[in-house]
Structure 1
Amino acid sequence: MDLLDASLGDIAARLLELLEIDRAATAIGAISGDALLESAHDWEAIGRAGDAARTWVAAEIAYESRRELDTTGLAYQHGFSSAKKLLAASTNVSERTAATRIVLGQQLRSSVSLSGAPNPSFFPVVESAFFAGRVGVDAASVICRTLSEMVDRTGWSDTTEQAERHLVEAAAATVGSISHAVGGDAFERAPRLYTVEEIARLAIRIREHVDPDGAEPRDQIKQSLRGFSYPKVGADGMARGRYALPPLQLGVFLTAIDSVLSPRTPDHSESGTASRPAEEAEEDGGASSSTDVEAVVDTRTFEQKILDAVMSLIEMAAASSAVSRLNGAAPTVNVHVTLDDLASGRGVGWIDGSTEPIPISTVVQLQCDGDTVPTLFGQHGEVLNHGKTQRLATRRQRRALAARDGGCVMPGCTVPPSRCQAHHVIPWVSPRYLPGKTDLDNLALLCPFHHATIHTSAWTLVMINGKPHVKPPGWRDPGRTPRPAGHQRARRPW
């Protein structure tokens, strides 16, 4: 195919034919391993060319739709209020994608004046590398965006050009000699192929090196953009929202989350026990659930673990005596449920603020160790009871549980006592214990994850002689022999 004679449509069709050939070859195993990596490299090069073309045409559409053209502008003539909307509608991409292409294209757009004099782009080095396919759209965008933040304060200078050239060379993996760089080491490290994330970090370091006084105003801008949207409940009953964290708040957030997600460290203040050497694991006569019983597999995704960690932190904060009170009471969740549903273990409950119900198993979980006030209704909607006393474990009971159980009692779990909940082994609402029983010989510590899944798990929790035991599933032990649970070491080893 002669490219000079072929239309762009013909070239696109030919590329799609080549793609089908590659896909067919992959299906029969003709392309695999290193050949796949080579194919990825080749198609990425084609993609960079396509990105460059789309960015260029987006900038030209924006130029012909500029505001000073008024009613003669391209977007106006086609019935659109902006180039972004015109481009999105014409190419069937999102307005966000269209805006990204326009912004980058305008930063890299060069032209010729009416007198014939060249009008260089804002970032000519990036322009040259981008339209030659040496750097991709992501790297070009991050370089232009970060350098623009620097130039807005410092203006253009030789240092700006040097920084631009250095970042482009790093992104293209063809770093030249820069021994003449402007002081410090911010300009002196680009010895290898950089990822886009590394380019972004390097660009920030250069920006802070050139404009150290800009850190304060830049942080003020970030602080003004911070926010946490109030959750909106969708048609599926799931609440969704957005958040934006400046660097300091992000650091606090990550530190708190990591402290919850990290493996257990002994909690001496709650358990009253010394740290436990690994060689003592077999001296407990079954106290170490991870040695005697196969660990319960945690099937949560990483995102689910983060959410559970956030909820644990919120629950701990809500239970704190320092938290703000509402009409003299700590923050409390109201749960509405019928007595018949609660007694039968079937049905649903309702939480204030949500249009979707929660299963009765979740209501039972909240009854164990949640800051909730249950409202029990009869068959005709009459209120039978609103709340119960001594449903939650007292402070003394929690200290005793921490000493006895040492953390979550489920096999293999390492969550410490401070992040566990007191679980009623025999449900709080039970024919055996009416109107409810919260005694140590009916309580066991469970982490939020195992507390939420204990009623549907193949593992069963029972109390024997006032101590929690686990009964493994039948496939693990056909006899389902109860085995001591928890991490307590003070009991007799036999």
Structure 2
Amino acid sequence: MELQDATLGDIAERLHELLSSNRKLVTGDELLTSAHDWEAAGRATDAARVWVAAEIENESRRELDSAGLAYRHGFPTAKKLIAATAHVSERTAGSRMALGRQLRSSLSITGLPVPSSFPAVENALHAGQIGVDAAAIICRTLTEVVPRTGWSDAVDEAEWHLVHAATATIGDADTTLRYTVDEIGRLATRIREHLDPDGAEPRDAVKQALRGFSHPRVGTDGMARGKYALPPLQLGVFLAAVDSILSPRTADPEKPLPDGDENDSDQNRCVPPDLRTSEQKLLDAVMILIEMAASSPAASRLNGAAPTVNVHVTLKDLEEGRGVGWIDGSSEPVPLSTVTMLRCDADIVATLFGDDGQVLNQGKTQRLATRKQRRALAARDGGCVIPGCAVPPSRCQAHHVIPWVSIIFAPGRTDIDNLALLCPFHHATIHTSAWTLEMIRGKPHVRPPDWHDPKRSPVPAGQQRTGRPYFR
């Protein structure tokens, strides 16, 4: 069948045949060529989707009343009609309509052409030179300027410049764009501020009015979820704070050591792998900030006391080392390993219950290391004692190597020779990890798991900078 005789259905069927063939045959570097070609086909399809959505909206406008396209097909709005007809979400239909509304050119009732608000973007989109992402960014950013400055030659020039930047290529190649879509967005923002320098103040006021942090909602699985909205200033403060915590990098135990590091090979290879996702690392960083703020003397007091975690646990579970604890405010229990971790270095009140529910003991926080002990630990350990971890002493917790409540360690004894500094991440994992800590001659040592070292030889831990550097 000749292309000029093919219907859209025929072309769609042919595309599906090509996709099936590509999935079986294309590999390696050919995938990059395939990605470029399929994206070119997708841009044509996206342009058509935007165009048809705008036309459906125009033929469903309110003044047509019962003669409108959506009304005649039993839908209250064009968005619902598009969503039902194209089998997409109303959100997708709405975004297509919004972009198409700005790019739609038409003929007036007198037959005269009515150009779109952004003709350069319209031409580039329908020519397949830019995609809907770049088109939407350009239109949305310049639309923020027009209500304040009005349409002008400067806005038209800015539109042309952004379209040119979005379609510019490096050298003679037509496959490598000079600007990514994200870079076009940043460029558009700079142009917006150049066109309307006085608009920054009211735009920021709008963002500040939209800022917020929702109170966590606890689901049936016990996980708390929420949402946040950070304006630029608050985002800058947030990133500066968490980046200072995320900046230390834990060494990769599988990564070969550079030349000249043979002396440190044993210790550097004895590094528990950090398998956290980036989201988990970010959450842990935020929790560190919260803990630091809560422990500050300037922190707000609740009923005259500093922020305190209330943990309820039975004496039987505590003695057997199994079971769960319950934290006030959460409907889901925590394992006993978490209770043990909290009892090391956290302001908690552990309430012990007997078999009949009677309160046996109301634990207090006297087990915490004193300020003098913290200074001594900082001098001895230099930060988190796990090899390869660079978290400084100020962001570490004092871990009882022998549990604070145990047969061989008297409750209430908090001595330097039984404490070691651990960052919150390694403190949370040391209780369940195959890597263990023990004190030898008053200094913490790490015993790796047997799969790492069959003999499980203890390796000196910590980042102490005094003393002889080449001997243990």
Instruction: Check whether TM > 0.5.
Output: yes
Counterpart AA for 1:238: M
Contact 1:108/1:124, CA 8 A, preserved across alignment:
yes
Mapped pair 1:199 → 2:195: no
Report the Cα offset of residue 236 of structure 1: 2.5
- Equivalent residue runs for 1:32-43 within 5 Å: 32-33=28-29, 35-43=30-38
Match of 1:132 among 127, 133, 139: 127
Mapped pair 1:230 → 2:215: yes
Relative distance call for 1:281 and 1:377 in structure 2 (3 A) is farther
Cα separation, 1, equivalents of 2:215 and 2:73: 38
Counterpart AA for 1:74: L
Corresponding residue for residue 173 of structure 2: none
Using the TM superposition, name which of 452-461 and 84-93 deviates more.
84-93
Relative distance call for 1:473 and 1:280 in structure 2 (3 A) is closer
Report the Cα offset of residue 237 of structure 1: 2.1
Corresponding residue for residue 18 of structure 2: 18
After superposition, what is the alpha-carbon deviation per residue over 1:73-98, rounded to whole angstroms, capped at 9, x for unaligned?
33344444432233223322222212
Local SS of the residue matching 1:356? coil
Corresponding residue for residue 442 of structure 2: 466
- Equivalent residue runs for 1:45-56 within 5 Å: 45-56=40-51
After superposition, what is the alpha-carbon deviation per residue over 1:189-213, rounded to whole angstroms, capped at 9, x for unaligned?
xx96210011011111111111111
Cα separation, 2, equivalents of 1:42 and 1:192: 14
Mapped pair 1:105 → 2:100: yes
Corresponding residue for residue 239 of structure 1: 224
Relative distance call for 1:471 and 1:211 in structure 2 (3 A) is same
Relative distance call for 1:378 and 1:69 in structure 2 (3 A) is farther
- Equivalent residue runs for 1:56-455 within 5 Å: 56-173=51-168, 193-263=178-248, 291=267, 294-455=270-431
Cα separation, 2, equivalents of 1:396 and 1:80: 73
Cα separation, 2, equivalents of 1:145 and 1:218: 14
Report the Cα offset of residue 485 of structure 1: 1.4
Report the Cα offset of residue 432 of structure 1: 2.5
Relative distance call for 1:93 and 1:280 in structure 2 (3 A) is closer
Corresponding residue for residue 183 of structure 1: none
Cα separation, 2, equivalents of 1:345 and 1:78: 67
Report the Cα offset of residue 360 of structure 1: 1.0
Contact 2:310/2:328, CA 8 A, preserved across alignment:
yes
Q: How many pairs align?
A: 455
Contact 1:290/1:411, CA 8 A, preserved across alignment:
no
Report the Cα offset of residue 144 of structure 1: 0.2
Relative distance call for 1:343 and 1:221 in structure 2 (3 A) is same
Cα separation, 2, equivalents of 1:289 and 1:250: 40
Contact 2:444/2:461, CA 8 A, preserved across alignment:
yes
Counterpart AA for 2:104: R
Using the TM superposition, name which of 473-482 and 198-207 deviates more.
473-482
After superposition, what is the alpha-carbon deviation per residue over 1:127-156, rounded to whole angstroms, capped at 9, x for unaligned?
111111111000000000000001121101
Local SS of the residue matching 1:145? helix
Using the TM superposition, name which of 213-222 and 89-98 deviates more.
89-98
Contact 2:381/2:420, CA 8 A, preserved across alignment:
yes
Counterpart AA for 1:429: V
Contact 2:50/2:97, CA 8 A, preserved across alignment:
yes
Cα separation, 1, equivalents of 2:266 and 2:165: 49
Local SS of the residue matching 2:12? helix
Q: Which consecutive unaligned segments of at least 5 residues does structure 1 have?
A: 176-190, 265-278, 283-287
Report the Cα offset of residue 281 of structure 1: 11
Cα separation, 1, equivalents of 2:154 and 2:356: 79
Relative distance call for 1:106 and 1:316 in structure 2 (3 A) is same
Using the TM superposition, name which of 322-331 and 481-490 deviates more.
481-490
Cα separation, 1, equivalents of 2:351 and 2:89: 47
Contact 2:248/2:389, CA 8 A, preserved across alignment:
no
Relative distance call for 1:354 and 1:86 in structure 2 (3 A) is farther
After superposition, what is the alpha-carbon deviation per residue over 1:338-390, rounded to whole angstroms, capped at 9, x for unaligned?
11112222111111222221111111111111222111111122222222241
Counterpart AA for 1:108: L
Relative distance call for 1:10 and 1:350 in structure 2 (3 A) is same
Contact 1:343/1:429, CA 8 A, preserved across alignment:
no
Local SS of the residue matching 2:312? strand
Query: Larger relative contact order (C-alpha < 8 A, sep ≥ 6)?
Result: 1
Report the Cα offset of residue 472 of structure 1: 2.0
Local SS of the residue matching 2:144? helix
Cα separation, 2, equivalents of 1:289 and 1:351: 43
Cα separation, 1, equivalents of 2:86 and 2:404: 60
Runs of 4+ in 1 over 6 A off after TM superposition: 279-282
Contact 2:267/2:459, CA 8 A, preserved across alignment:
no
Contact 2:167/2:177, CA 8 A, preserved across alignment:
no
Relative distance call for 1:293 and 1:204 in structure 2 (3 A) is closer
After superposition, what is the alpha-carbon deviation per residue over 1:242-288, rounded to whole angstroms, capped at 9, x for unaligned?
11111111111111111101138xxxxxxxxxxxxxx9996xxxxx7
Cα separation, 1, equivalents of 2:146 and 2:322: 64
Cα separation, 2, equivalents of 1:220 and 1:389: 45
Relative distance call for 1:457 and 1:289 in structure 2 (3 A) is farther
**What is the identity percentage for the equivalent residue pairs of Structure 1 and Structure 2?**
70
Cα separation, 2, equivalents of 1:157 and 1:173: 24
Contact 2:105/2:114, CA 8 A, preserved across alignment:
yes
Contact 1:293/1:472, CA 8 A, preserved across alignment:
no
Contact 1:48/1:135, CA 8 A, preserved across alignment:
yes
Contact 1:289/1:295, CA 8 A, preserved across alignment:
no
Contact 1:391/1:438, CA 8 A, preserved across alignment:
yes
After superposition, what is the alpha-carbon deviation per residue over 1:60-83, rounded to whole angstroms, capped at 9, x for unaligned?
222223233344433344444432
Q: What RMSD, in angstroms, separates the aligned Cα atoms of the two structures?
A: 2.2
Cα separation, 1, equivalents of 2:328 and 2:163: 55
